[in-house]
Structure 1
Amino acid sequence: MRIHRLEVEAFGPFAGRVVLDVDEVSAAGLFLVHGPTGSGKTSLLDAVCFALYADVPGARRKQALRSDHAAPDAVPQVVLEVTVAGRRLRITRSPEWHRPKKRGDGTTRVQPAVVLEERLGGAWTALSTRHDEVADVVLDVLGMGLKQFASVVMLPQGDFAAFLRATPEERREILERLFDIGVYSDVEQWLADARRDGAAGLDDALLALRADLVRLDDVLGALRPDGADDPDGATLAGTALDALPARLAEVADGLTDRVTASLAALDAAESLEALATQRLAGAQEVLGHRRRGEQARARLAALDAAADEHAERVRTLDAADRAAGVRGHLTALDRLRAEADARTADLDAQHDAVAALGVDLAGTDAGDAAERARSLDDVVAALARDTGTARELATGLAEGTRRRDGLVARDAALADEVPVLRAAVEAAEATVTRLSGDGARVAPLAAAVEEQEARLALHDGVDADRRRVEALQPTLAEARTAVSEALAALIALQQRRLDEMAAELATGLADGAPCPVCGSAEHPAPAVAVDPVTPEQLAVAEQAVAGARAASAAVEGEVTALEAAVGTRLDVLGGATRADVETALEQARAEHADAVTAAASLATGTAELRVRRSALERLTAEQDRLAATLEALDERLAEVATEAEATTVRLADDLAQHAGCPCGGGADTRRHARVVTALTELATASASVSDARARLDAASEDLAAALSDTGFATAREAAEALLGVADTDRLRDAVLGHERDRTAAAAALTEPEVLEALAGDAPDVDALRLAAAEARRTVLAAGTEHDALGRATRTLERLRPGLEAACAAVADRAARQARVRELADTVGGTGGDNTLRMRLTSFVLAARLEKVAALANERLAVMGGGRYLLEHSDDRAARGARSGLGLRVLDQWTGRSRDTASLSGGESFMASLALALGLADAVREEAGGLDLGTLFIDEGFGSLDDDSLEQVLTVLDGLREGGRAVGVVSHVADLRARIPHQVVVTKGADGSGATVRAAGAAPAA
């Protein structure tokens, strides 16, 4: 994979658009990415990862990738052009971000976007805009995920320095992320799951077997008397599994014997019970016959004693039956006599009502008088209508006259009010116009106040920054002094070491061995160190210089940022003094307050104007309605007066026609209706009385004929003999019951069984009942025991094959579980045979680590002058910890292996860099041997001396073979002179920038 071009915009610390032609600097094979701390060097590498994988390595969240320095509407975007697997691809990707809303305040979420293009036929062709499809293409051509890519293409030295000194368990976790050992992890997990599942299955099988045995023990235990011991020994649940089949056979044989004995006992008990039951039934039958005979004798004696009462009931029932034949005639006669009396009383009341109205019939028939009065009903109705009309017209005429007087008075009052209200409306309109103009200036004046307040805040910021700069000057001077002192100390140590270099070389001389300087095998006067300088002292001095420089740079950066902020604020102020700004602010605030007051009064004035206009419109409309109403009212009063005169003429004609009416004539129409009603009711009552008396006479004749037929002399005698239906039924039942009881009692005393039972002694039924109950209890007990033994036998026969099979299955499962547990413990690193406590995945990773160490040593042999080699160690860890992923360093000068933590800072850097390159090569081989045309190495060069730096750069030059480009990411100043092709990253208050600088060329954007 080779990176050609990288473009970022509003991404990380880069506020604007940055375009990097990587081909321009990578053509030389080795290029430098440098800039101050925090400028965004690593963000360029994050941009490459984000373009490919829509994510970044490390702890940074992809939701926070948009630059905080960018304009609110700037679109965050990364464009990456690469060649991978022979394909030229361009990926344009944007993260999720929030842009300002086009309408209103606030922001709206923008979804992440991606565009994948391929260079085909000299032009870019779009392949996909879907995230999942782009991810599939990237994974297909690269063959690795984000974590592997970040470890193979972008080598973070801090991570591999930690890997160099990590414990075996920590190193295993790192290697698992880099190498695909999923198959071996699956084997480990499968065996662990099989061990767990097998143990659970074995426990379940044992529990199920024990549960069946306990149930069988319960069944067998119920066969023993309470408190009795098991005659056969221990329970089945407590029996060993290997002895269980024999124990089951023994229990089965014992149950068979007991079932046979219980069956014989049950047959004997049932025979005794049948005999006792037969004797009890015979005694109960004799006792029943004897009781029936005694009851029959007692019943006949009682019936003979009540013979007179029975005869009287017979006579009464006969008379009641004959009287029932005239019941209807008696009832009809009583009803018709009451009806005739009621009609006569009603007729008398109607005569009184007519007399009360003052009507004198003078021998005239009431029906004729009523007919004559009804013939004048139409005249009376017309008289009533005309009387009501005349009354309504008179009332309406008076009311209309009063209403007209009120309307005329209101019209005169409105004529005075309208001109006054019209003048008030004109005055309110003038006031609203004036306030509207003044209130329109509120917003511009408020903006002017805010502007002056912001300018005054700029003055406050200038004063605060200047005070901060003055306060930092002593600190800056102290930091610069500390840098000078630390550099002087470092230079002194370096000089001392150079002075003692001969003595240091002399410590490695041996008799007969050639001198590494002159080659002589003789060493007559080896130098002796007077004041030796150790590498640790140099490392401490270098760290002191780096720390002092960092502290000084931090203070200088803060001062520079403060001075830049002061200059920016003064440019905005444009030379205006604080007094000028304060005067302008005071004037703007006063004008704004006046405008606010006017705006507040405008609402009140506008409301008052609306009220006055509404009142004027209401009064004007009322004047118009009054004029129309008066005109219509005058016309209506004239019409009512004309109609009243016509009604008076009709009333006189109606009275003349009504003069000869039986009611006496006159204008009282209600009296006419009452008289008509009374005369009509009187005629109806007279006819009803005549009809009722005729029907009463006919009913009397029918009753006399019926009394003669039933044998009664008078109607009174028949009425006294009558009984109610319920009484008659009760009397009839008593007569029939007496006769029925006598017949039944006499029949019972003639039966042979009853006569025989009465002739002998009564049997002892209670004694026979006790004997039968005892025989039944014996049968039930014998049956219960036999049934229990039968159920136990069937239960044992049903469970025995399954229990024997379960015993065999549990034994097989236990043997298999032992084998699985042993294998899982061994693979998981916890088995007794696994002396190194190494898991299967660790064993596989150990082979990978051996390969990594071999690849790393190829580079370390050049960088370290051949002194150090990395070795994989599988020594057993202390205190039972897991082993197999140890890493040590072999010092070929001494021939001894030692811990990697004993390396100095520069040596650790070279070892970790070699380890990183070795890991990258190993991961790349496992990923299919993908050729990586571009490689980045991030930081760590500050710990190297000049010779070591040359050795490292020699190795990096070797990485360029085959056209590979190596990018070194560092802020070390010495690298700028050694690596001419550079990507320069700068930072500032408005965000970072980046430019490409090729050898011998001026910086280019």
Structure 2
Amino acid sequence: MRVHRLEIEAMGPFADPVSIDVDALSADGLFLIHGPTGSGKTSLLDAICFALYADVPGTRSKRGLRSDHAAADAVPRVTLELTAGGRRLRITRSPEFARPKRRGTGTVSVQAMVTLEEHLDGRWQSLSTRNDEVADVVKDVLGMGMTQFSKVVLLPQGEFAAFLRSSPEDRREVLERLFDISAFSDVEAWLAQARRDAREELDTARSTLATGLARVEDVLAELGEPLTSTPDEPLPYDPAVGPLLTEVVRELDARVTATMTAFDAASSAERAAAESLAAGRAAAALRERGARARTRLEELAANASAHEQRTRDLDAAERAATVAGHLAAADRAQDEVQVARAAVESTGRALAPSPLAQANDAEVDAALEQVRDLDATVTELARHEQDAAARSARRALLRSRLADAEGQHAAAQASVLAAQAEADDLAEQVDLRAAGAARIAELELLVATTAERLALVDAAEDDHRRAAELAPRRSSLHEALLDARTELLDLRQRRLDGMAAELAAGLADGDPCPVCGGAEHPHLAVATDPVSGDQITAAEHRVDQARSLLTAIEREIEVLTASAASRLAGLQGATRASLETKQSQRRAELAAAHADAQEHSVLLTRLAAVRAALQTHEDTLTTLLAQTRSTTAVLGELDDQDAASATRAEELRAAHELCPCHGGGTGAHAAFARLLGDHRAARTSLAESVTRAAVASEVVDDALTTAGLRDTAHVRAALRPAAEVAALRVEVAHHEEESAAARATLDDPQVAAALCGDEVDIEALREAEAAARAALLQAQTTRDDAARGLRLLERIVPEVLAAGAAVSTAQDHDQRVRDLADTTSGTGPENTLRMRLTSYVLASRLEKVAALANERLAVMGGGRYLLEHSDERAARGARSGLGLRVLDQWTGRVRDTATLSGGESFMASLALALGLADAVREEAGGFDLGTLFIDEGFGSLDDDSLEQVLTVLDGLRAGGRAVGVVSHVADLRSRITHQAVVHKHASGSTVDVRVGTRSDQPAA
């Protein structure tokens, strides 16, 4: 992979767009990225990682990528142009961020976006805008994930220094993230699961065998009497229990045969006893039946006279019943004659004032016809009288309504005048309030403007206050810087004074002196107050730290002072007091305008209501006027109808004067017609009822002759109620049926024989039958228990034998799987180093890494140190195989990595990081690293070591590789001419690309 261009906007500390031409920057193969602490050097590497993987390495979060210095509506984005896998790609990615709403207040979330383009046929062509598709392409062309990329391309020196000194277990976690050992992890997991499955299979087989043996023991325990082959102790928990179980089944089968023979004998005895009991019960029943029949005949003979009287009474009642219906009909006919005669007399008395009371039927019929002919005349006359009364009542009601309408008309006129006056007054007030409400928008704008200017005053005062609070801190930091410089100068002077003693400390007898060349050293210099290089480095670091802190706080005070001056300049001389006075006045005017607007709304509502009421009153006036005119017209029509109706009523009265009712009213005419009709109907009914009575009398005489009865008195004496007749019939029939049944029973030969024979002992037969049945049940239970036990054993024993075989198989399988799984997990007795399979694979990777690292360390360390992989067994049973130590070739001793000095640790860590990068690249299939970044760590090197490290980095440039060094070490600025300088400002960081010049020279 080779990086060509990196563009950043509104991300990290970079508010304004930053564009870095990496091709030009890396033209010499080695380039430097430097700048003050916190300026954003590492943010450039984070931007590369975010463009590729939508995330950043380490503990930093991608949610905070948007720059706090950028404008509120600025869109954060990073664009990376690179070549990988033979393809020229450009990735533009924007993280999720919040921007202000275009309308109203608040913010709205903007989703993350990505665009992938490829340079084809001389132009950029879009490939995808989906995050998953872009991730697939990046994975395909780079061949590694973000964790590997951040360790291979962006070498984090600080992390590998920790890797150098970490424990084997911590080192294993790092190696697992860098190297793909998932296949071996899967093998470990599979074997561990197979071990659990084999143990579970063995436990299940043993449980099945134990369950089967327990079931066999339960069956044997339920048999009552034990078998001769049954052991006294529980069945052995042994797969070889088969022969014993087979003998138990054979003996139980013989017992089943014996119990079946005993059951058959008991069954025959029980049937014989049951038959004897049944025969005895039958004979006893026959004797009892004959005795009951003889007793019943004697009782019936004693009641013979009563039976004969019931028979005679039943015969007389049945013959009288044949005449009873005709007799009842004759009685009803006579009753009807009496009723009809009484009706004729009653209607005659009602007509007594009229001569028609004594008239014959023809005269009554003629008078009735005349009355009915005048019914229509009387009905019409009644209708005219009713209509006249209704018109009179309606006339009174209309005259009352006319008077009410005239009163309502006057009231409505008064309401119209009052509503019109109120509407005119409200319209005038609405116009006055509208003028005040129209100033609201203008006054709100003035109030907001004044509030913003007051906020500027508050912010300026706050800046002055914060700057004043920082002044004592600046003074203390200035004094601390002077103290640190004084300490550094003192240490350097003491270092120069002690250099002779330091050279003497490294001499041994026979070694040439580096100053005079002599091999003898009679007077070695001794340092009374020695100072080490580490002390000088620590003092320089304290000076740099104090200077950085002082510079930062001075810049902060300067920014606060400039910010306060800028804010106050925008006020154009206005003071807080004048602004607050003006704000108070404008707020009062705004409150008055809001009151006018509120009152304007209320008045508009009231005006609309008054105008609606006015329209209602006017509509009421129109309606009342129409009602008055309509009522007057209806009164005229009623007068015309009264005149016409009176003329017709006189004509009808004259026609009714000739009626037999003597010209009475409508009700009298109807009553006379109804009374006359009732008298004529009563006369007709009387004649008909007399005829029916004569016919009924003749029918009764004929029925008496047919039934052989003397007269109606004899019939009435013999008649009985139907229920009493039915009861007599039942008693007579019952007496005859019981007599016949008793004689039939005594005539039965079996009953006669039983009465002549001896009495049977039923209780003795019952006891014999019960004893036989109990013996049968016991034999059946014994047979069923033995048969059930045999069936159970025949089903269980094969299962037990199969379970025993399964236990043997499962034991062999469990032993083999457990041995293999324990070996791969590092817990088996044959794995003496207690190394897991994955640890063994990682150990081979670490051995390869150490070999690759030593190629660089041989140059950087002058050939003194070599990194060695150690697979010595760890103490106290810990896992082994990932140890790392240092071989000092000057002394021939192996040292712990923690004993290296700061500079030595850096060189060893850098060599280890480069070795890991080479190993991971080989693991990824020979991935070509066109661009490499090394982040920090050079401050701990002396000049010679730094020169050796740069020599190694120069070697990395072989084959066209570009190496970027991220550092703030001053010496690197004069050694590396191609630089990207990151500047830190209060408004955000910027990047200055310098090609072919040192940092202390102007940019080309």
Please report how far the alpha carbon of residue 926 of structure 1 lies from its aligned counterpart in structure 2 after TM superposition.
0.7
CA contact (8 A) 1:539 1:905 kept: no
**Which among 570, 582, 586 is matched to residue 572 of structure 1?**
570
Matches within 5 A, 1:590-669: 590-665=588-663, 668-669=665-666
Distance across 1 between alignment mates of 2:32 and 2:807:
70
Task: Pick which of 536-545 and 588-597 moved more.
Answer: 536-545
- For 2:98 and 2:378, locate their aligned partners in 1 and report how far apart those are by CA, in whole Å: 96
| Whole-Å separation in 2 of the counterparts to 1:955 and 1:994 | 27
Q: Is contact 2:933-2:963 (8 Å) kept?
A: yes
Task: Give me the whole-angstrom Cα distance separating, in 1, the residues matched to 2:1003 and 2:406.
Answer: 100
- Supply the AA of the counterpart residue of 1:643: Q
Secondary structure at 2:10's aligned position in 1?
Answer: strand
How far residue 98 of structure 1 moved from its aligned partner, in angstroms, is 4.2
Partner of 2:505: 507
Q: Decide which of 914, 917, 921 is 1:917's aligned counterpart.
A: 914
Residue by residue over 1:514-563, the C-alpha shift from the partner in whole angstroms, topping out at 9 and shown as x without a partner, is 55677765556554433322455345435534543454355335424423
Q: How far did 1:186 drift?
A: 0.6
Distance 1:745 1:414 in 2: 113
Matched, 1:793 2:786: no
How many residue pairs end up in the alignment? Answer: 1000
Q: State the AA in 2 paired with 1:870.
A: L
The residue number in structure 2 matching 1:426 is 424
Instruction: Determine if the alignment matches structure 1 residue 443 to structure 2 residue 441.
Output: yes
Residue 926 of structure 2 is aligned to residue 938 of structure 1: no
Give the aligned residue type for 1:878.
A
Alpha-carbon distance between aligned partners in 1 of 2:95 and 2:870, rounded to the nearest angstrom: 45
Question: What are the ranges of 5 or more consecutive residues in structure 2 without an aligned counterpart?
Answer: none
Q: Report which stretch shifted further, 5-14 or 95-104.
A: 95-104
**Cα distance between partner residues in 2 of 1:990 and 1:701:** 143
Equivalents in 1 of 2:153, 2:96: separation in Å? 26
For residues 292-318 of structure 1, what are the alpha-carbon distances to aligned partners after superposition, in whole Å with 9 as ceiling and x for unaligned?
A: 222222222122222222222322332
CA distance in 2, matches of 1:643, 1:973: 131
> Which residue is equivalent to 2:90?
90
Looking at structure 2, the residues matched to 717 and 748 of structure 1 have their Cα atoms a distance apart, in angstroms, of 44
Give the Cα–Cα distance (whole angstroms) in 2 for the partners of residues 1003 and 748 of structure 1. Answer: 151
Q: Secondary structure in 1 aligned to 2:570?
A: helix
**Aligned mates of 1:691, 1:90 — CA distance in 2:** 129
Counterpart in the other structure of 2:297: 300
1:220-278 CA distance string (max 9 Å, x none): 111126xx899833465x51214421331232233234334333433443343333333
Correspondence for 2:217: 217
The CA deviation string for residues 732-751 of structure 1, in whole angstroms up to 9 with x for no partner, is 33333322322332233233
- Counterpart CA distance in 2 for 1:546 and 1:354 is 151
2:766 equivalent to 1:736: no
Distance in 2, matches of 1:674 and 1:14, equals 122
Q: Which residue of 1 aligns with 2:393?
A: 395
1:837 to 828, 834, 837: 834
**2:368 and 2:62 mapped to 1: Cα distance?**
114
CA contact (8 A) 1:300 1:742 kept: yes
Alignment of 1:769-918 (within 5 A): 769-918=766-915
Aligned to 1:184: 184
Rounded to whole Å, the distance in 1 between the matches of 2:75 and 2:859 is 47
TM alignment of 1:208-247, pairs within 5 A? 208-224=208-224, 232-234=230-232, 238-247=235-244
| Partners of 1:359 and 1:663 within 8 A in 2 | no
CA distance in 2, matches of 1:561, 1:311: 147
**Residue type of the partner of 2:191?**
L
Distance 1:871 1:266, change over 3 A: same
Q: Does 1:163 align with 2:163?
A: yes
Is contact 1:224-1:230 (8 Å) kept?
no
Distance 1:992 1:451 in 2: 33
Between the aligned partners of 2:747 and 2:206, the Cα distance in structure 1 is: 81
Q: Which amino acid aligns with 2:800?
A: L
Q: What is the TM-score when the length of structure 1 is the normalising length?
A: 0.92
Find 1:531's aligned residue among 529, 532, 536.
Answer: 529
| Equivalence for 1:130 | 130
Does the 8 A contact of 2:349 with 2:357 survive in 1? no
Corresponding position of 1:28: 28
Compared CA separation, residues 325 and 933, structure 1 to 2 (3 A):
same
Give distance in 1, aligned partners of 2:575 and 2:780: 122
Alpha-carbon distance in structure 1 between the residues aligned to 2:947 and 2:384: 139
Pair 1:826–1:159, CA change in 2 (3 A): same
Q: Partners in 2 of 1:44 and 1:276 — Cα distance?
A: 113
Alpha-carbon distance, 1:848 to partner? 0.9
1:113 is aligned to 113
Aligned match of 2:202: 202
Give 1:293's aligned amino acid.
Answer: G
- 1:216 deviates by 2.3
Q: Which residue pairs with 2:953 in the alignment?
A: 956
Other-structure match for 1:490: 488
Q: Cα distance, 1:951 vs. partner?
A: 3.2
Please say if residues 425 and 613 of structure 1, whose CA atoms lie closer than 8 Å, have aligned partners that are also in contact.
yes
Q: TM-score normalised to the size of structure 2?
A: 0.92
Change over 3 Å in CA distance of 1:982–1:468 after alignment to 2: same
Partner of 1:932, secondary structure, is coil
Displacement of 1:804 after TM fit? 1.0
Map of 2:382 onto structure 1:
384
Secondary structure, aligned partner of 1:967: strand
Q: CA deviation at 1:836?
A: 2.5
Q: For structure 1, which runs of at least 5 residues remain unmatched after alignment?
A: none
Q: Which residue identity is paired with 1:529? A: A
Deviation, structure 1 residue 81: 1.4
Determine if contact 2:92/2:114 at 8 Å carries over to the other structure: yes
Change (3 A) 1:369 1:361: farther
Q: Compare 924-933 and 280-289 and name the one that shifted more.
A: 280-289
- Relative to structure 1, is the Cα distance of residues 234 and 967 closer, same or farther in structure 2, using a 3 angstrom cutoff? farther
Deviation at 1:698, TM superposition (A): 1.9
Partner of 2:586: 588
Moved more, 580-589 or 499-508: 499-508
Give the aligned residue type for 1:168.
P
Residues 685-718 of structure 1: CA deviation (Å, up to 9, x unaligned):
4433433343233222212211221122233433
Superimposed CA distance per residue, residues 11-43 of structure 1 (whole angstroms, 9 cap, x where no aligned partner): 344344333322221222222333444443333
Pairwise CA RMSD: 3.1
In the alignment, what sits opposite 2:694?
Answer: 697
Please give the alpha-carbon distance, in whole angstroms, between the structure 2 residues aligned to 1:475 and 1:535.
Answer: 31
Q: Deviations over 1:562-602 (max 9, x none)?
A: 23432342243344222332232232223223223322322
Matching of residue 559 in structure 1 with residue 557 in structure 2? yes
Residues 239, 807 of structure 2: 8 Å contact kept: no
Segment of structure 1 superposing worse, 202-211 or 497-506: 497-506
Inter-CA distance 450–205: structure 2 relative to 1 (3 Å threshold):
same
Stretches (4+) displaced over 6 A: 228-231, 352-356, 516-520, 1001-1005
